[in-house]
A and B are shown apart, each in its own frame.
Chain A
């Protein structure tokens, strides 16, 4: 009998497998698809870490406490303070641990959604999962089984740890613990309709395996759920482009968001999850990120969500030598768009936006910029649901909890299948960061559980 069974081969699953193996446990990792990677490999590749050497090299002052404050603020205090505290206390170790596992970070640290200082540490996400997988397999203690779907968890009186029923009908048993790391439910239309009906017209980008399997398995054992009312999409996805799965965050560099009527509708500096809510309430569920050449030039081709140049090359931007010309291309009344931009520039000059209260580029960071230098750019943007950011309630040891707060014996969970960490909104890099930090905790705790 193996010590630990991990269900799912995304970042959380491989982090759990590696951590458990490093503790000396034998591990079976089952992945229902032919290739592991999951939604993690499709993500933007940002991890929210605070106090790293990369930040220090860039003269960025940050700390776990500052990260805690930001995460709580972004989550509007709906999130579980204990989980957030655990993340903040563990994230620096996890960052070093990733480096030891062969994960390479870009030296560029950007400020993104919900961050009061630059702390988006960027990786190639598919490479990161591959590195974790390689490190886990190199321990010699991990038995990787692709094309192996877990269907259910089965409890019995004579077994302290749930057994895993696999699609071939066999039962797999673990001596120490089972870790659910099977991702969210962004590819399960029925669950989406149940939990996030407001996002029916959004774009969905997630691993094909994100079917809510782990949620279903946990629920069957009486697990509690957290944050189910806060499924949100990320603002900035081109509505009709199928080449780029990632959003574009020009608003965080100074662009404004206007709807098809040519009107701003939100403080553009807030979390892109809240921007996602806002854009879904607009006509046609679409807006345009409007900027000038000066803002365009602050794009960064090393950060996907800020790589304006590549999107321009791909023909995704509308470009006009004047705001009127730009407006005509995107079928907005030219005089309306000009008036909107002029009004906004006035707010920038005055240092006060009486309409929506925008005071900075992103989450209290960065001075606003006027939109004034031709050519002008428009990037069509809707919301994309990358992940569901809600699910099984866990504690700081990654144990799955029932509604009464008691832990389900031998059951751990990590990554997108869990709820409680994000709360009402989302900080860039906190989903992939959560997968790694809590995946590592889950693997470690499962390995250490009493046999």
Chain B
């Protein structure tokens, strides 16, 4: 099985944020760490590899050169194929998803944190699945690897399990049952010398729109009539989808 793990990173909360005017108000990238969602995605990939030793894991870390520290953290977990990727417009979810899609090739399983540097929007995984035209199983919490590989997500008393049987994109949330393991010191030391590749995607470079050139979109709002939606959840979902589709 070929797995690709996409890592966004977040600012390390132990460091104060010092906005840099030259970086459009974004915090300096020097104190980036994997997000809890990134960590859970890595741990799930590692568990699959433990259960199926022929699994190949490739990790891509957003942020270009600024992602190197995270990349070495991942390399210390014996993931040897790690590279950083420059995102031209990390604040643009669609552009980010398009850039990431270019990295996914024909991987059997793509794991991504449920938020990907998009400030709680959680849009990148869904957009990425759309660009790749593959199913998305969102908010994975746990994994079973005995026999089939099964992802599970829970909400209140509901539990949903998916057997991984075809190409899939899974967005992962943090859960104490998939907390990322600590690397061995030996591998931390080896990772300091590891070769970290750097990828610049074509779509990333072609979608480089500076935030300074952005302006609010000036279009008429679409109007639709107010309606109460009723029925079982599936019917409500279908009705809502129809309303949104017609109003697009």
- A residues near B (Cβ < 8 Å) are 238-242, 260, 283-286, 315-316, 330-331, 380, 382
Which of B124-132, B153-161, B177-185, B224-232 contacts its partner?
B177-185
Nearest-neighbor residue (CB-CB) of B183 within chain A: A240
> Given known contacts A286-B186, A330-B184, what 12 new A-B pairs fall within 8 Å (CB)?
A238-B182, A239-B185, A239-B188, A240-B182, A242-B14, A260-B186, A284-B185, A285-B185, A286-B185, A315-B182, A331-B184, A380-B184
| Min distance, Cβ B133 to any Cβ of chain A, angstroms | 37
The residues in B between 167 and 224 inclusive whose CB is less than 8 angstroms from any CB of A are 179, 181-189
Contact present for A315 and B181 (CB under 8 Å): yes
- When C-beta atoms are compared, the residue in chain A nearest to B12 turns out to be A242
- Provide the main secondary structure of the chain B interface: loop
15 example contacts (A-B, Cβ-Cβ < 8 A) are as follows A238-B182, A239-B188, A240-B76, A240-B183, A241-B182, A242-B14, A260-B186, A284-B185, A284-B189, A285-B185, A286-B186, A315-B179, A315-B181, A331-B187, A382-B185
- Shortest Cβ-Cβ A-B pairs, 10 listed: A286-B185, A239-B185, A284-B186, A284-B185, A240-B182, A315-B179, A260-B186, A284-B189, A240-B183, A331-B184
Cα distance A188–B187 in the bound complex, in angstroms: 27
Contacts of A316 in B (CB 8 A): 182
Interface residues of B (CB under 8 A from A): 14, 76, 179, 181-189
- Please indicate the chain A residues that have their CB under 8 angstroms from the CB of B189 in the complex: 284
- A331's nearest neighbour on chain B, judged by CB, is B184
Docked Cα-Cα span, A333 to B179, in Å, equals 26
* A contact patch SS: loop
B14 surroundings in chain A (CB, below 8 A): 242
**Among B182, B183, B187, B188: residue with most chain A CB under 10 A:** B182
With a cutoff of 8 Å between Cβ atoms, the chain B residues found around residue A284 in the complex are: 185-186, 189
State A283–B184 Cα separation when bound (angstroms): 12
Residues of A within 8 A of B76 (CB): 240
Residues of A within 8 A of B181 (CB): 315
Cα distance, A34 to B184, chains bound together (Å):
37
CB neighbours of A239 from chain B (8 A)? 185, 188
Tell me the bound Cα distance from A315 to B187 in angstroms: 18
How long is the Cα–Cα vector from A136 to B26 in the complex, in angstroms? 45
- Measured CB to CB, the nearest residue on chain B to A287 is B185
B186: chain A residues at CB < 8 Å are 260, 283-284, 286, 331
Q: How far is the CA of A10 from the CA of B147 in the complex (A)?
A: 57
How far apart sit A239 and B183, CA to CA, in the bound complex (Å)?
Answer: 9
Query: In the complex, what residues of A have CB within 8 A of residue B188's CB?
Result: 239-240
Contact partners of A331 in chain B: CB under 8 A:
184, 186-187
Q: How far is the CB of A205 from chain B (nearest CB, A)?
A: 14
In the assembled complex, the Cα of A90 lies from the Cα of B185 at a distance in Å of: 43
A239 vs B186: C-alpha distance in the bound complex, in angstroms? 10
CB contacts (< 8 Å) of B187 on chain A: these are 331
Collect the chain B residues with CB atoms within 8 Å of residue A382's CB. Answer: 185
Please indicate the chain A residues that have their CB under 8 angstroms from the CB of B185 in the complex.
239-240, 260, 284-286, 380, 382
Chain A residues near B183 (CB-CB < 8 A): 240
A285: chain B residues at CB < 8 Å are 185
Distance of A331 Cα from B189 Cα, bound (Å): 14
Q: Say how far B130's CB is from chain A's closest CB, in angstroms.
A: 35
In the bound complex, how far is the Cα of B142 from the Cα of A1, in angstroms? Answer: 67
Minimal beta-carbon separation of B10 from chain A (angstroms): 15
Please report the C-alpha to C-alpha distance between residue A380 and residue B183 in the assembled complex, in whole angstroms: 10
CA distance A46 to B189 in the complex (A): 33
Which chain A residue lies CB-closest to B186? A284
Residue of B with least CB distance to A328: B50
In the complex, how many angstroms separate the beta carbon of B126 from the nearest chain A beta carbon? 30
CA of A196 to CA of B190, assembled, Å: 24
Residue in B closest to A242 when the chains form the complex, CB atoms:
B14
Q: Closest chain B residue to A240 by CB distance?
A: B182
Alpha-carbon gap, A238 to B184, bound state (A): 10
For residue B73, which residue of chain A has the nearest CB?
Answer: A240
Nearest CB of chain A from residue B184's CB, rounded to whole Å: 6
Cβ contacts under 8 Å, B179 to chain A: 315
Q: How far is the CA of A285 from the CA of B186 in the complex (A)?
A: 9
B79 to chain A, nearest CB (A): 15
Shortest distance from the beta carbon of A208 to any chain B beta carbon, whole Å: 13
How long is the Cα–Cα vector from A286 to B186 in the complex, in angstroms?
8
A413–B179 Cα gap in the complex (Å)? 46
**A239, A316, A331, A382: most-surrounded residue (chain B CB, <10 A):** A239
Chain B residues near A330 (CB-CB < 8 A) = 184
**Shortest distance from the beta carbon of A286 to any chain B beta carbon, whole Å:** 4
Bound form: Cα–Cα A315–B184 in Å: 13
- Residues of chain B within 8 A (CB-CB) of A241 are 182
B146 to chain A, nearest CB (A): 15
Shortest A327–chain B CB gap in Å is: 12
Measured in the bound complex, the distance between the Cα atoms of B181 and A331 in whole Å is 14
Report the Cα distance A37→B129, complex, angstroms: 52
Alpha-carbon distance A242/B182, docked complex (angstroms): 11
Residues of chain B within 8 A of A315, CB atoms compared: 179, 181-182
B15 to chain A, nearest CB (A): 12
Q: Return A308 CB to nearest CB of chain B, in Å.
A: 16
